[in-house]
Amino acid sequence: MKTRCTWCGSDPLYVAYHDEEWGVPVHDERMLFEFLTLECQQAGLSWITILRKRENYRKQFFNFDPKKVAKMTDEDIEARLQDAGLIRNRLKLYSI
Rounded to whole angstroms, the Cα distance separating 66 from 18 reads 25
CB 33 within 8 A of CB 68: no
Residues with active-site annotation: 17, 39, 47
Q: Which of 55, 54, 60 lies closest to 83 in space, CA to CA?
A: 60
